[in-house]
A and B are shown apart, each in its own frame.
Chain A
């Protein structure tokens, strides 16, 4: 049976060059904190990877501004924990974020709210964009942090980072962005965005799982989430994850080199898939911003059909996708992102996310376009809900 992976926003396979490099680097076992030669050699490799990672998010940025973490969730939590300590010491305490953040930002913000910090979850419009005037109105002299994701994982909508950064700065607040989904898919520049903190994850850019990074501007406060030894200048304790970090470095280099070709490749396939779906299936809704959207992400709602049923029908045909349906989430609520865009529960339950990647092909798109229309027609024919 065919195996068509269209869930690259969930995670990516290793880039072949990353896999090759990591196999060779299995021998780099020395503790990078050790003073001896093997340790020094390992540390040199870690530092090279740090430079490769920083180059992906800001050509002019200093590698010292990168702290390696276990992934995006740890990076995001480090920022919110830092804000917790700052707020407790007095001064500003306001947190402004969006209602469509990844759960790790939403839950970290909810934790601060429970600790008594004033937290605002900004609404988004029908395309998933936050309203800049709403942001201007939400920030003030008490605002400590503005945290807005660069691009949404579910619907792919890209926010106006430069304007959001400027508004945060004008209010005297720190600006954090979870750029987990943007990195490697669209140009990311911490200088241009005015970001004080930026979260990256490695496994979304064809690198290994279990490693990520947090960029922080020089002078931005930093409270370690994990205390211990003096690794990462005391910002993040724990023995260096040599293999993960070296894989991250290679993945970051490749992502930077291949960004333009990647974007045009997945962008062309995405347009084909979208147009094919719109032509073959009546009454569908493409979610997310029509233009300011990740080149690989296509989120579509199929009214009358339920998302988990669509997902499992496609799964039985070898097609791997995601859904915003409550049935697949383990909770009773459908996608908080789609609900925030105001599409309503039926379209949220009936949503499917196709996320393409560097290995996606025209044949993959053709195959999905051959399987999906009859699947939707079948589910709609037995549905109590008219499409």
Chain B
């Protein structure tokens, strides 16, 4: 009989944690066409995605991560999912998609440990830049947060990367929430998450 307390997460997470797929191994001579790095050691999670791309399709992938068990498992799962996928579809993968495939993760783990999608997007952006199409997917899969001013989660991410650290700083850069203000709670949650991930 299986013991529900013998392991903290799902069995899928356990398998990907103990036997992760597509981990970068310096001895195998993998040559990446594009790379993306996200997160930092200060927050406890950092991920590097390395892609081999042919005709805008991800043909092979390797990754490395400094992070907790669910970070390792989610990056491993993501690496399996994106193999053979077009870069535009890959760009649209959400943390929730990965968490679902892992058989679920606690809420507090989804946003701090599922950084793989962001590292993957950074790698695809790297590929687009190298092929003269920088920023092509900028609005792919973006979710509108402030409906009054049509400000997306991607805009908030960019503002944090540009230095916004609090609500006032975010408003200064994006004007978010300056009309009806109804988006403030959700936007602040994202802001907090992105500061955690992207701020040094």
Please list the residues of chain A having a beta carbon within 8 angstroms of any beta carbon in chain B: 304-309, 312-313, 315-316, 325-328, 330, 332, 334, 345-346, 349, 381-385
A351 to chain B, nearest CB (A): 11
B72 touches A346 (CB 8 A): no
Q: Is B54 an interface residue (CB 8 A)?
A: no
A330 touches B46 (CB 8 A): no
What is the CA–CA distance of A10 and B43 in the complex, to the nearest angstrom?
25
A385 touches B108 (CB 8 A): no
What is the CA–CA distance of A305 and B69 in the complex, to the nearest angstrom?
11
Chain B's closest residue to A383 (CB) is B66
B48 touches A384 (CB 8 A): yes
Which residues of A are found within 8 Å of B112, using beta-carbon distances?
327, 332
B68 touches A325 (CB 8 A): yes
Which residues of A are found within 8 Å of B196, using beta-carbon distances?
332
What is the CA–CA distance of A304 and B46 in the complex, to the nearest angstrom?
11
Cβ contacts A to B, 8 pairs, < 8 Å: A309-B68, A309-B71, A312-B68, A326-B43, A328-B68, A332-B43, A349-B44, A385-B46
Does more than half of chain B's interface fall in helix, strand or loop, or is it mixed?
A: mixed
B22 to chain A, nearest CB (A): 10
Which residues of B are found within 8 Å of A332, using beta-carbon distances?
43, 112, 196
B115 to chain A, nearest CB (A): 11
Q: Is B165 an interface residue (CB 8 A)?
A: no
Q: Which residues of B from 1 to 45 have beta carbons under 8 Å from A?
A: 7-8, 14, 17-18, 20, 23-25, 37, 41-45
Q: Which of A309, A334, A382, A384 has the most CB of B within 10 A?
A: A384
Chain B, interface residues (CB within 8 Å), range: 20 to 34
Q: Mark B163-198, 1 if CB is under 8 A from A, else 0.
A: 000000000000000000000000000000000100
What is the CA–CA distance of A326 and B67 in the complex, to the nearest angstrom?
10
Which residues of B are found within 8 Å of A382, using beta-carbon distances?
20, 23-24, 64-65, 72
B8 touches A312 (CB 8 A): yes
A306 touches B47 (CB 8 A): no
A385 touches B41 (CB 8 A): yes
Q: Which of B37, B44, B108 has the most CB of A within 10 A?
A: B44
What is the CA–CA distance of A2 and B41 in the complex, to the nearest angstrom?
33
Q: Which residues of B from 34 to 88 have beta carbons under 8 Å from A?
A: 37, 41-48, 64-69, 71-72
Which residues of B are found within 8 Å of A345, using beta-carbon distances?
41-44
A349 to chain B, nearest CB (A): 4
Please list the residues of chain B having a beta carbon within 8 angstroms of any beta carbon in chain A: 7-8, 14, 17-18, 20, 23-25, 37, 41-48, 64-69, 71-72, 108, 112-113, 196
Q: Which 3 A-B pairs have the closest CB atoms?
A: A308-B68, A327-B68, A385-B66
Which residues of A are found within 8 Å of B67, using beta-carbon distances?
306, 309, 327
Known: A306-B45, A328-B68, A345-B44. 5 other contacts (CB 8 A): A313-B18, A316-B14, A327-B45, A332-B112, A332-B196
What is the CA–CA distance of A305 and B71 in the complex, to the nearest angstrom?
12
Chain A's closest residue to B9 (CB) is A312
Of the candidates B37, B44, B46, B108, the one whose C-beta lies within 8 Å of that of A325 is B44
A319 to chain B, nearest CB (A): 14
Given known A-B contacts A309-B69, A384-B64, A384-B66, A326 and B18 have beta carbons under 8 A apart: no
Which residues of A are found within 8 Å of B8, using beta-carbon distances?
312, 315
Of the candidates A316, A330, A346, the one whose C-beta lies within 8 Å of that of B41 is A346
What is the CA–CA distance of A154 and B65 in the complex, to the nearest angstrom?
26
What is the CA–CA distance of A384 and B115 in the complex, to the nearest angstrom?
13
Of the candidates B18, B20, B23, B44, the one whose C-beta lies within 8 Å of that of A306 is B44
Which residues of A are found within 8 Å of B17, using beta-carbon distances?
309, 312-313
Q: Which of A307, A316, A334 has the most CB of B within 10 A?
A: A316
What is the CA–CA distance of A327 and B45 in the complex, to the nearest angstrom?
9
What is the CA–CA distance of A327 and B105 in the complex, to the nearest angstrom?
13
B66 touches A308 (CB 8 A): no
What is the CA–CA distance of A142 and B50 in the complex, to the nearest angstrom?
60
What is the CA–CA distance of A346 and B67 in the complex, to the nearest angstrom?
11
A333 to chain B, nearest CB (A): 9
B14 touches A304 (CB 8 A): no
B184 to chain A, nearest CB (A): 21
Chain B's closest residue to A332 (CB) is B196
A200 to chain B, nearest CB (A): 31
Which residues of A are found within 8 Å of B7, using beta-carbon distances?
315-316
B18 touches A316 (CB 8 A): yes
Which residues of A are found within 8 Å of B45, using beta-carbon distances?
306, 327
A309 touches B41 (CB 8 A): no
Which residues of A are found within 8 Å of B18, using beta-carbon distances?
313, 316
Which residues of A are found within 8 Å of B65, using beta-carbon distances?
382-384
B68 touches A384 (CB 8 A): no
Which residues of A are found within 8 Å of B23, using beta-carbon distances?
381-382
